[in-house]
Amino acid sequence: MIRLNKKNLQFRLGIMILVGLGMALAGLAIIQGISLQLHIDQRLCSPSAAHIFGTDALGRDMLSCLMFGTLVSLAIGLTAVLITAAIGAGLGFLAGWHGGLLNICIMRSADFILAFPGILLALALIAFWGQGVINLVFALVVSSWVGYARLVRGEVLKIKDQEFIVAVRGFNASSWQIARGHMLPLIFPLLLTQAVSGIAAVILAESSLNFLGLGLDPRLPTLGGMIDAGRGHLFDKPAMVILPGACLSLLVAGFLLLAEGLKMRPGPFAFEKK
For residue 140, what is the domain's CATH number?
Answer: 1.10.3720.10
- Which residues of the chain have a pLDDT value below 50? 1-2, 267-274
Q: What is the pLDDT at residue 273?
A: 37
Quick one: DSSP state of residue 220?
S
53: in domain: no
46: in domain: no
Q: What is the pLDDT at residue 164?
A: 79
272: in domain: no
Q: What is the pLDDT at residue 200?
A: 94
| 26-75 per-position pLDDT tens digit | 887 777 777 777 777 777 777 777 777 888 888 888 888 898 889 999 99
250: in domain: yes
Q: Which residues pair with 2 in a beta bridge?
A: 271
- Tally of domains in the chain: 1
Q: Report the percentage of the chain scoring pLDDT > 90.
A: 40
Q: What is the pLDDT at residue 215?
A: 84
47: in domain: no
Quote the domain boundaries for residue 125: 2-28+60-264
227: in domain: yes
| 89-98 per-position pLDDT tens digit | 999 999 988 8
Burial of 254 (0-12, 13-18, 19+ CB in 10 A): buried
Query: In this structure, how many other beta carbons lie within 10 angstroms of the beta carbon of residue 201?
Result: 22
Q: What is the pTM of this model?
A: 0.85
